[in-house]
Structure formats: structure tokens, C-alpha cells
Amino acid sequence: MKYALVHGEKVEAFPKGIGLCICCNTITIAKCGTKKIDHLAHRSLIECDAWWENETQWHRDWKAKFPKAWQEVVHFDTVTGEKHIADIKTEKGFVIELQNSPMALEELRSREQFYKKMLWIINGQNFVKQFEILNKLPDPKAEFVKDIAFHWAKGYEIKGFHKPSENPGDPSMVLVHSIQDIQAEIDEHYVGHHFFYWKNPRTVWFEAGCDVFIDFGGSLLWKMIKYDQRGLFAIKKISKEYFLDRALI
């Protein structure tokens, strides 16, 4: 953890520091050194929050982008008594969870059900070499896209498309067009969407009910979206500056 309570105030780890856990109110000990980032750990070996993962510099860098009061905030369910430490919880009650390690589907659904108003930021630097950003895609809200069905092969860029209006009968007998036939329209209606290939994907993120943003480093985030009714997934680039401006409003 980044914070503990010392004399009732939320403070960061300091040499030989002792405080109280913000979630379970038991004793925490500061761990300060050169091998790991400074942090606070429970004096016992039992963590009070099963959802908590070992914190990395990536977590810290993201938390530092938000006000101190929003970092590591206990979210409490008044009905069940369940409580967990949200990585970021805004003053409006919206939660941002930072996830570095793989996660089971059961836990993802439990967290989304518990927090309800939330989004995910996942550390894409762990799998960036297995992730390839491919073709530009047009804005899915563009009118011409309503009559477009893209064709692709796993691991390859989109090469063609067909128009459902041209093929009202047997779906196996479709007239396939080259993607070059609509490249000008794609470019005109491009607002940041891309097709992608993810080798050995962390499939849990395709099941998320809340928004998922991938952080590969740099100035951009990539939002995972379900692009069309056939289930084609795409990613949309969003500047971190824009994301933070919206989050801090």
C-alpha cells in the first residue's frame, strides 16, 4: 500500500514508520529500501483485501496523476459490510482500478458488481510484444459503416468487406470487395479506431462489463470496444491528457 493512517492522517511510507491500515485498522509497517518501491505492509502476513495486488512503479505513477484524497480510498457496502481499497475513487464516487497482473473472470465480475461505477486501466507493457495494432477503422457511427461487414483472418490485417444489402440471400455466397474500395471513406471517418491482433490474449478483458483502457506507455491510452454487432473488437486511441482532463472534472 502507498498510504496508512498515522495520527488520523493518510501518509506515505517513511523509514521505520508504523501506521494503521486504512481498510482494516490493523498495524502496518513501512518497507523502505532500494530494491522495491517504498510501501506499507501489514505486520501480519494476512492482507485484509484479497483484491489487492503487489504494487509497482506503474501503479504509483498512475496514482500520482490524481489528488491524494482520491488515492487508495476504502469503498464500503453498507448493506453487506464488504469493503475494499479502490486504487482511485473520485469525489463523485467513480472508481478507477489499476491492474498489472492477470485476473480471473470471477474476480473481474465481483469487482465490477461491487464498485458498479468504475473503469479499468491495465498495464499493456507486460504484453506489448504480443499486441499488434493493425488497420485503421472508420467511426462505427458513420452512416456507410451500417452496410459494411469487414473480413479478416486471425493474425492478419483486414483485407476485404462485403455489403449485407448486396447479399440478402445465402450468406455463403457474398460479393467481397477490396478494402481499398472504401479506404478514402475510412480515412475521412477515422477518429482513432483500429483493428488489432493479440497473441495469447488475456481473454478476461473481452468479458469486462466496464470500460477497459490499455496503457502501453507514452502519451496514449487504448480503449477496448466492441466495434460491431458481429462481435468484432477494436481499440480506440485516446490521449492520456484528454482522459485525465475528463477524470478530474
Q: Residue ranges of the domains in the chain?
A: 1-48, 52-249
What is the identity of the amino acid at 220?
A: L
Question: What is the per-residue pLDDT for 45?
Answer: 56
Cα separation, 103 vs 201, in Å, equals 12
- Mean local confidence (pLDDT), 188-203: 95
Average pLDDT over the chain reads: 89
**pLDDT value at 156 more than 80:** no
Phi, psi of 220 (to 5 degrees): -115, 150
Give Cα separations from 94 to 27, 73, 106, 166 (angstroms): 28, 11, 21, 45
Helix (H, G, I), strand (E, B) or coil at 61: helix
Percent of the residues in the chain that have a pLDDT greater than 90, as a whole number: 61
CB proximity list for 20: less than 8 A, separation 6 or greater: 4, 5, 6, 26, 27, 28
Phi, psi of 113 (to 5 degrees): -70, -35
CB proximity list for 114: less than 8 A, separation 6 or greater: 75, 77, 82, 84
**pLDDT value at 130 more than 60:** yes
Can you tell me which residue has the cell 475510412? 186
CB 83 within 8 A of CB 14: no
Question: What is the per-residue pLDDT for 172?
Answer: 67
Question: What is the per-residue pLDDT for 46?
Answer: 62
CB 235 within 8 A of CB 214: yes
**pLDDT value at 111 more than 80:** yes
Residue 32, Cβ neighbours under 10 Å: how many? 15
- Mean local confidence (pLDDT), 167-180: 79
- Mean local confidence (pLDDT), 102-125: 96
CB proximity list for 161: less than 8 A, separation 6 or greater: 148, 149, 150, 151, 176, 177, 179, 182
Question: What is the per-residue pLDDT for 102?
Answer: 93
Can you tell me which residue has the cell 492522517? 9
Q: CA-based angle 123:129:133, to the nearest 5?
A: 85
What pTM was estimated for this model as a whole?
A: 0.87
Question: What is the per-residue pLDDT for 47?
Answer: 67
CB 121 within 8 A of CB 213: yes
pLDDT-derived band at 157, boundaries 50, 70, 90 = confident
